[in-house]
Amino acid sequence: MGTLSENWLTENLIDFEYKKYVLLGYLQKVKEHFNEQKLYPDFAELIAHYKNLVSIKNNTSSLENSFKKNIKGIDYKNLTLVYENAINDDSLDELKQIIAFSEPLLIDELKKGKTIFDFAEQHISTDHIGILPIYKKEGYFMLYPFQSKQVHVYNYSLTKLNLLQQEVFGLNSSYFSTYSISLSQTVDKIKLDIIDTNPQMPNPAVYLFKANASLPSEETFLPIAKRLLYKNLVA
């Protein structure tokens, strides 16, 4: 069983045994990934599912509105459609039972995810190569995995977005290249090579994230390094 639907609580059959099967199947995959220290995308999805569950639990009106309604007729006086609820009290009771069962299971997995996140963050050191320029909205960052002889380089750009009438920052990144590390090819030499490749940026910001423990690259090291980079850029 793969990713859990965003509306898994309220869509399709509202049956405790069925929803229990759906959730446990999903959480089994999450547990397997967490046992391998693979944090993303499961951790972010778990947070979203938990927030959605708490929102539905605390708001009975949104709970009822989250179900599809059938058109019953037309109110010609007010020129509006009249709906009938596609859910009855028994279904609501069933849903409350599903929520009561699901909430502690999601909390348990969130705690495990948070433990992995904290461990990974504590075992990633952050540094920069050479002198940091004043302009840091564009640049590069390196991932130096634990006990590796290679570094993986990504370019990044920090952009300002307008979201719900508020200005927020978005961090975009893409893979650039992989370099071997040796006595003759240090991270400083790699920075010079990057500059030669892109002379339009004669002194780019280059950050180095070094893992001091074995971490899955794509699922844990990279997303947490990007989070640490973001914190550095917007500080």
Task: Record the pTM.
Answer: 0.82
- Dihedrals φ, ψ of 190, to 5°? -65, -40
Whether the per-residue pLDDT at 78 is higher than 80: the answer is no
**What confidence tens digit (pLDDT) does each residue in 15-28 have?**
999 999 999 999 99
Whether the per-residue pLDDT at 87 is higher than 60: the answer is no
pLDDT of residue 235: 80
pLDDT of residue 130: 93
**What confidence tens digit (pLDDT) does each residue in 36-46 have?**
999 999 999 99
Residues 45-64, mean pLDDT to the nearest whole number:
82
pLDDT of residue 83: 58
Q: At CA 178, angle to CA 172 and CA 179, rounded to 5?
A: 135
Query: Under a CB-based contact definition with an 8 Å cutoff, are residues 4 and 27 in contact?
Result: no
Domain boundaries, the chain: 16-122, 124-234
> Percent of the chain beyond pLDDT 90?
69
DSSP 27-95: HHHHHHHHHTT--TTHHHHHHHHHHHHHHHHH-HHHHHHTS-EEEEEEETTTTEEEEEES--HHHHHHH
